[in-house]
A and B are shown apart, each in its own frame.
Chain A
Amino acid sequence: MAPERPLLEVNDLRTYFFTSLGTVRAVDGLSFSVPLQRIVGIVGESGCGKSVAARSILGIIPPPGRVVSGSMHFDGDQGLLDLAALDPHDEVYRKTRGKEISMIFQEPMSALSPVHTVGDQLVEALMLYDEQLTKEDARDRCIGLLRQVGIPSPETLIDAYIFELSGGMRQRVLVAMAISGEPKLLIADEPTTAIDVTIQAKVLDLLRHLHEEKRMSMLFITHNMGVIAELAHEVIVMYLGTVAEQGSVNDIFDNPQHPYTQALLESIPGIGVEPKTTLQAIEGSVPDPYRRPPGCPFSNRCPSFKAGTCDAALPPLYRVSESQTARCFLLEGNEVVAEAAPPPEVSADG
């Protein structure tokens, strides 16, 4: 395989929030890449930093947070950019955000305006990305987009307000907005978490279809292992702001190496699990961000915990195979892909 340059390469990204209670290391040494035309899935429990990672890429971290170190190389229309080194208000960043990298947000209502029609919002977005576009053409394009995402009678729906739409239709409008600039990278942050299974099934089908048709790369964020198995080519398992394990979808489901990945897979009920029997639960819960355990972030819940090792230092990233890596001392002896870097000394004002 000739190593092709990935569309996005995130390296040792750290995004911290400097709150009055202390520093939240929401994303803390995250590295991964999104190859061209692939779907990369990020999975992890709530609070592990999935949304903050996505917002870091888009350059929309609200204060008191900011990207404190690391790099995010994006290979877009404006050449290879390190987004982490750009000011989020920079012209170059603004041209990338929304158009080349777009995002479907977790909360559909917060991403759409209640006082404008579907058409108003979409037309505005389209005209922003393409300054030559006339209003009439934009409206036509908008109807085409709505049709593309499976909205019936888009000629009527274009004049509807968001509150007049069902949950499934809202989600489709969001997808239409996100693909309106023909992005190279679409980030979808739990786009189906708030909707029902029969509707979720349709939205997943739609996203897969768009990916195939437009060869669009996707970063798909979810806490649902089933959704990951269905959609992703590559998988990143996150825990407390960093990668616990990453690999191809087959690596992760057939041969998980990190105790967290293993435990996560064993804790879900479903086909193959005898009903009414005891599930393999993970002890405790994700730690409070202000009280991280020393050493490996999973050490206080890990069934394979070794005192003196796991609580002494952060494990390095070990190679499991060509396509798979994991951050766990059980893999000691394997090739070290990256040593664990200590968090940088930073303060609120950098």
Chain B
Amino acid sequence: MADAAAAGAMERGNIIEVRGLSKHFPIKRGILKHTVGWVRAVDDVSFDVRRGETLGLVGESGSGKTTVLRLLARALEPTDGAIRFRLADSEVDMAVAEKEVLRAARRRIRVVFQDPESSLNPRMTVRRIIGEPLVVNDKLKGEALDARVKSLMALVGLQPEQLNRYPYAFSGGQRQRIGVARALALDPEVLLADEPTSALDVSVQAQILNLLLELQRELGLTVIFVTHDLSVIRHMSDRVAVMYLGHFVELGDRQQIFDKPLHPYTEALFSGIPQPNPHRPLKRIVLEGDIPDVAQVPTGCPFHTRCPYKQDRCESEPPLLAEVGNTGRQAACHFAAELDLKGEQELLS
């Protein structure tokens, strides 16, 4: 089933092509707010997203995941790069699109946020929260609006008769359903989900993951799913991208990556997932030191200060994200082809 879907996605080609995307934030100091340095939150990133697939974006906090999503939605101005969307009825470069084009594209590209608590206006009823994009964009009102809001509520598993309630009357999981309904209101093609379950309990997380999988199947959505939780990435993604300090360090098919990662950082991440199995804990790869400050990304390979396989050239020569052999997979490591890294099964003791 999943394989057939992935093959289908391949035939339908790319819906997003990102090239050389960067976002550098200035660090300002002093009364005169001089720029004293730059945070390279996203640094020269290129990748494709296939129509109908879920691309999982994983990495530790501060690695630039949210910044990538905000750039894709053009909630942030990129420092550099191109973001081509091949939407059903138009092609746009989100990096440079203006006014009308941007507005039209934003209807098709919607975001679900991490924290349902703070992303929903507490003074608005559910009718207004979900209906707002419909009012603003489609000038819907009255009964037509109510009908559409109710059908969206039913779609995400909320009771339509609760449309006059305020967010506080809902549980965390239900609030996230409200956020999903709002994102779906304008029939988007692409859903950008930023840690949509990170603030939820595990039992409720399962409900929201199920909902997103079901909606994707039914509506044929393309999803970029961002999280720091590797078990969630594994469950949701067709392909996976691993971020470290503003860079993509590995990108490829989910199963292949979990079976045998090509980048040392991916291997270390896998080895750190606490397994709910007391008999088979993971063999841990303990990394040197903490994640460096993004304002001072190490020279050469950004991972070299912590990498257990580092060689001299890693300190000066930055490895580029490139295909490894003829695997169809990409990794940014000088030794990706030679290292024999362990996948999750091999890491189990």
Binding site for B on A (CB under 8 A): 45-46, 152, 166-169, 196-202, 204-205, 223-230, 249-250, 253, 263-265, 267-271, 273, 275-276, 278-282, 284-286
CB distance from A272 to the nearest CB of B (A): 8
Tally inter-chain residue pairs, CB-CB below 8 A: 139
What are 6 A-B pairs at a CB distance below 8 A? A45-B202, A45-B203, A196-B228, A197-B272, A205-B286, A249-B278
**A226-B273, A264-B202, A279-B210 given as contacts; is B231 within 8 A of A269 (CB)?**
yes
Separation of A205 and B236 alpha carbons in the complex (Å): 29
CB distance from B76 to the nearest CB of A (A): 23
Separation of A168 and B346 alpha carbons in the complex (Å): 27
Interface assignment of B213: CB less than 8 Å from any CB of chain A: yes
**A276-B236, A282-B203 given as contacts; is B277 within 8 A of A200 (CB)?**
no
Separation of A270 and B202 alpha carbons in the complex (Å): 12
Interface assignment of B60: CB less than 8 Å from any CB of chain A: yes
Chain B residues with Cβ under 8 A from A201's Cβ?
271-272, 284, 286
Interface assignment of B254: CB less than 8 Å from any CB of chain A: yes
B275–A230 touching, CB < 8 Å: yes
B277–A269 touching, CB < 8 Å: no
CB distance from A227 to the nearest CB of B (A): 5
Chain A residues with Cβ under 8 A from B272's Cβ?
197-198, 200-201
**A166-B291, A198-B269, A275-B237 given as contacts; is B209 within 8 A of A268 (CB)?**
no
Contact with A along B201-224 (1 / 0, CB 8 A): 111111101100110000000000
**A205-B286, A276-B213 given as contacts; is B203 within 8 A of A253 (CB)?**
no
Chain A residues with Cβ under 8 A from B214's Cβ?
278
Contact with A along B230-243 (1 / 0, CB 8 A): 11101111100000
B235–A198 touching, CB < 8 Å: no
A269–B203 touching, CB < 8 Å: no
Chain B residues with Cβ under 8 A from A279's Cβ?
206, 209-210, 235
Chain A residues with Cβ under 8 A from B281's Cβ?
229-230
Separation of A224 and B231 alpha carbons in the complex (Å): 12
A198–B277 touching, CB < 8 Å: no
User: Looking at the complex, which one of B203, B234, B268 makes contact with A270 (CB distance below 8 Å)?
Assistant: B234
Separation of A249 and B277 alpha carbons in the complex (Å): 9
CB distance from A19 to the nearest CB of B (A): 16
Separation of A4 and B55 alpha carbons in the complex (Å): 54
- B1, closest chain A residue (CB): A276
User: Looking at the complex, which one of A45, A198, A271, A286 makes contact with B60 (CB distance below 8 Å)?
Assistant: A198
Chain A residues with Cβ under 8 A from B230's Cβ?
197
B269–A197 touching, CB < 8 Å: yes
**A264-B203, A267-B206 given as contacts; is B234 within 8 A of A275 (CB)?**
yes
- A267, closest chain B residue (CB): B206
User: Looking at the complex, which one of A46, A202, A224, A227 makes contact with B286 (CB distance below 8 Å)?
Assistant: A202
Interface assignment of B287: CB less than 8 Å from any CB of chain A: yes
Chain B residues with Cβ under 8 A from A253's Cβ?
276-278
**A168-B290, A196-B61, A196-B291 given as contacts; is B201 within 8 A of A225 (CB)?**
no
B235–A204 touching, CB < 8 Å: no
A267–B235 touching, CB < 8 Å: no
Chain B residues with Cβ under 8 A from A230's Cβ?
274-275, 278, 281
- A222, closest chain B residue (CB): B274
A268–B273 touching, CB < 8 Å: no
- A269, closest chain B residue (CB): B235
Chain A residues with Cβ under 8 A from B228's Cβ?
196-197
- B238, closest chain A residue (CB): A276
Separation of A237 and B211 alpha carbons in the complex (Å): 27
